[in-house]
Amino acid sequence: MKKITSKTTLKDILDIEGAEKILMKNRIPCLSCPMASFEIESLEIGKVAKMYGLSLDTILKELNCLSKNDSKEKS
């Protein structure tokens, strides 16, 4: 899997096993928002973090660590 950046969409992130737990831990509200299901393919993690005043650096670090582990397990 390629590196997750501020431009990565929530849809792509949610395709990674375990990513939902990281997003919930970091208080990403979009997972429970009924409107998000209509725009999840275009919601970028950087914009969501900025909108809600969340630490993008922390979120990206945790997601990329998870993504690396997910890729190793599939190899």
CB-based contacts of 48, cutoff 8 Å, min separation 6: 10, 28, 30, 54
Does the pLDDT at position 21 exceed 90?
yes
Name the β-bridge partners of 44: 9
Residue pLDDT, tens place only, 28-74: 887 777 777 778 888 899 999 999 999 999 999 999 998 776 655 55
Q: Where are the domains of the chain?
A: 10-70
Contact between residue 59 and residue 26 where contact means Cβ atoms under 8 Å apart: yes
- What is the model's pLDDT at position 36? 72
- Whole-angstrom Cα distance, residue 56 to residue 42? 17
- What is the model's pLDDT at position 31? 75
- What is the model's pLDDT at position 75? 47
